[in-house]
């Protein structure tokens, strides 16, 4: 079998997993905070406002503790997309390199990524910091992944085997189109018309992604 792409770049929130991590955390802070952050996330994912304008603000509202992030790990585990583990395994078996590029919190995504066989260097996400008591103390605001076009910069610097396919659901994912051979809009959990309109392919499941790449 010959794969159409030698590399796959996967988004995490609303792609590999059904949840949006920051929205899940916001739900622990009550309905007002949850609604405000969900609306902000949606606007950023639709490309209506730049991610850098809201990334720090969202975390400042949520202030996720170490315990909160530990709980988020479990939420990620239970929300992995149907068929994703098998598809990732099948892609690797055909020599396709698969990497994760996410604006989510590294400490929440890392355990799930390792369980799915990703190496440390194949997970690109944003570090969060805590004080000695485990309370929120900030995040890595130097990470390009906190910006609207940061995923593009990360993929450009990753030197992935070509041709490469990026897969995601939001405007920050669509931005990767400038660094890969093609972009697939993942609509298995949420469909954003502007993202679909800019995509080369549309996948509604990981089975469809496997068929796209492996035929």
**Active site residues per annotation:** 11, 13
DSSP element (H, E) containing 136: strand 136-139
Q: Give the dihedral of Cα atoms 148, 160, 117, 90; nearest 10 deg.
A: 110
Distance, in Å, from the CA atom of 177 to the CA atom of 101, rounded to the nearest integer, reads: 13
Distance, in Å, from the CA atom of 126 to the CA atom of 105, rounded to the nearest integer, reads: 5
DSSP symbols for 33-76: HHHHHHHHHHHHHTTSS-GGGTHHHHHHHH---HHHHHHHHHHH
DSSP element (H, E) containing 184: strand 182-186
DSSP symbols for 105-125: EHHHHHHHHHHTT--GGGEEE
- Whether the Cβ atoms of residue 111 and residue 132 lie closer than 8 Å to each other: no
- Whether the Cβ atoms of residue 146 and residue 55 lie closer than 8 Å to each other: yes
Distance, in Å, from the CA atom of 100 to the CA atom of 124, rounded to the nearest integer, reads: 6
């Amino acid at each position: 079998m010959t794969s159409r792409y030698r590399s796959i770049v996967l988004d995490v929130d609303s792609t590999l997993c059904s949840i949006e991590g920051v929205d899940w955390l916001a739900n622990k802070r009550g309905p007002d905070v949850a609604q405000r952050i969900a609306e902000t996330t949606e606007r950023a994912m639709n490309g209506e406002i730049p991610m850098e304008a809201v990334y720090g603000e969202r975390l400042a509202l949520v202030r996720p503790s170490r315990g909160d992030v530990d709980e988020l790990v479990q939420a990620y585990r239970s929300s992995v997309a149907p068929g994703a583990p098998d598809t990732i395994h099948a892609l690797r078996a055909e020599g396709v390199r698969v990497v994760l590029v996410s604006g989510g919190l590294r400490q929440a995504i890392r355990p799930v990524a390792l369980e799915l066989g990703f190496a440390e260097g194949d997970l690109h996400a944003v570090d969060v910091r805590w004080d000695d008591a485990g309370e929120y103390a900030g995040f890595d605001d130097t990470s390009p992944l906190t910006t609207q076009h940061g995923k593009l910069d990360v993929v450009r610097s990753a030197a992935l085997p070509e041709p490469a396919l990026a897969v995601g659901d939001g405007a920050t994912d669509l931005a990767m189109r400038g660094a890969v051979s093609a972009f697939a809009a993942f609509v298995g959990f949420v469909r954003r018309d502007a993202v679909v309109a800019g995509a080369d392919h549309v996948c509604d499941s990981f089975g469809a992604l496997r068929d796209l790449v492996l035929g």
